[in-house]
Amino acid sequence: MAMSYEEKWKNERERKAFLALDDGAVFHGVAFGAKKDALGEVVFNTGMSGYQEILTDPSYAGQFVTLTTAEVGNYGINPEDVESRGLFLSGLVIGDLTEPSNWRSEKSLGEYLAENGVPGIYGVDTRALTLHIREHGNRKAYLCVDASLSEEAAMAKSNEWPGLDGQDYAAKVTCEKAYDFTPEPRATNHEPWIICYDFGVKLNILRSLASWAKVTVVPAKTPAEEVLALSPDGVFLSNGPADPAAVTYAIENIRKLLGFERLSAHTSTTQPPNHLTTKPIPIMGICLGHQLLSLACGAKTGRLKFGHHGCNHPVKNLETGKVEITSQNHNFAVIPESVPDCLEVTHVNLNDGSIEGIRHKTLPAFSVQYHPEACPGPHDSNYLFNQFKSMIKAAKNA
């Protein structure tokens, strides 16, 4: 019979680290990575590989990522597999930590976390932690790496932390200034020009777009007027972390890009827009961008019990009837009962029936809740980029 994590690590002298959840649950293990305490929200990721891409996904800002796969670290870290400019997660929680044995590796997982100031804990019973989250939902937590605090004190700190609800983390992870991901001048060819709002964009999203378009990335708070002045052929709304309803400036900017009148200071951002003032720009959104587009059109968002994190989530395309296996990372979702008449649901999650995609009935705009570019994950949903490309072409020819 295989030993439990508790049995395997019961004699480990360094087993002083612990994760104290706000509901009283405590999980013990061994500290690695940055030797510092941290606060965050605990989620679990069901992917079997791709931990480097997961670590560098800005959508995990403010979260402790629990990897459900048994052993982590065996292929180390290399510079080719990073998905953003840095690490934004609060910490990493794993079962067995293994040393790298892959020819591409340039450093160990522990070294990488330490260099980037991110703490980790291994030797944790991740199966028990995952089951706890599934039963009780995502929890706020405090990671103590050296037992300098009592479990009760750490628990109190986790309860005092405000959490991610109502928090705008897109502003924390976005780029500082605009840049061209494809630096060649647009005028040299006939490729479309796309402006990508960076709410926490991953590099492989930009690579996917740049394979057929010129791409300019702009900070999350870039006013719609600046984007409209550039006259792009399309706008892409990226993935990102935390609560979409808190990113009010983005909701208003998206309404303007869709062609709706500017909101007055007294207009609620949860109300549907009314009339068009300019020609709309084709828009595609994913993950947080999907939620923001839905909010801009009058829908509402709310929390899922334990979110979707992993690269094996089944999604049904309601138009074709086909099932796609998708890569996902989100805790919030569009509330089905709130979807306005101007939108139609295009995709649903086969695990819990939640909304996975919407399309505007009269305007050139659509979005999905998942990451069609994968990294890590399957490539079932790559067709969505071609759909965006066709939408841009149709708008230019209209």
For the question of residue 287 being annotated catalytic, the response is yes
- How does pLDDT run across 128-174, given as a tens digit for each residue? 999 999 999 999 999 999 989 999 999 999 999 999 999 999 999 99
For the question of residue 106 being annotated catalytic, the response is no
When pLDDT is cut at 50, 70 and 90, the band that residue 185 belongs to is: low
* Start-to-end Cα distance in the chain: 67
Q: 17: number of CA atoms within 13 Å, CB side?
A: 26
- How does pLDDT run across 83-109, given as a tens digit for each residue? 999 999 999 999 999 999 889 999 999
Query: Could you tell me the residue ranges of all domains in the chain?
Result: 5-160, 170-397
Instruction: Write the CB contacts of 203 (distance below 8 Å, at least 6 apart in sequence).
Output: 82, 83, 84, 375
Query: Do 195 and 216 form a contact (C-beta atoms < 8 A)?
Result: yes
Active-site entry in 28, 308, 347, 371: 371
CATH number of 5-160: 3.50.30.20
**Predicted local distance difference test score (pLDDT) of residue 260:** 78
For the question of residue 196 being annotated catalytic, the response is no
**Predicted local distance difference test score (pLDDT) of residue 230:** 93
Flag whether pLDDT at 398 surpasses 80: no
* Mean predicted confidence (pLDDT) in 363-376: 88
Flag whether pLDDT at 122 surpasses 70: yes
Active-site entry in 41, 53, 83, 373: 373
* AA identity, residue 223: P
Homologous superfamily of the 170-397 domain (CATH):
Class I glutamine amidotransferase (GATase) domain (3.40.50.880)
**Predicted local distance difference test score (pLDDT) of residue 48:** 86
Residues of the chain with pLDDT > 90: what percent?
A: 79
Closest CA to 288 of 175, 118, 174, 134: 174
- How does pLDDT run across 29-71, given as a tens digit for each residue? 999 999 999 999 999 999 888 899 999 999 999 999 999 998 9
Active-site entry in 196, 287, 297, 311: 287
pTM: 0.91
Least confident interval from 80-89, 345-354, 368-377: 368-377
- How does pLDDT run across 217-243, given as a tens digit for each residue? 999 999 999 999 999 999 999 999 999
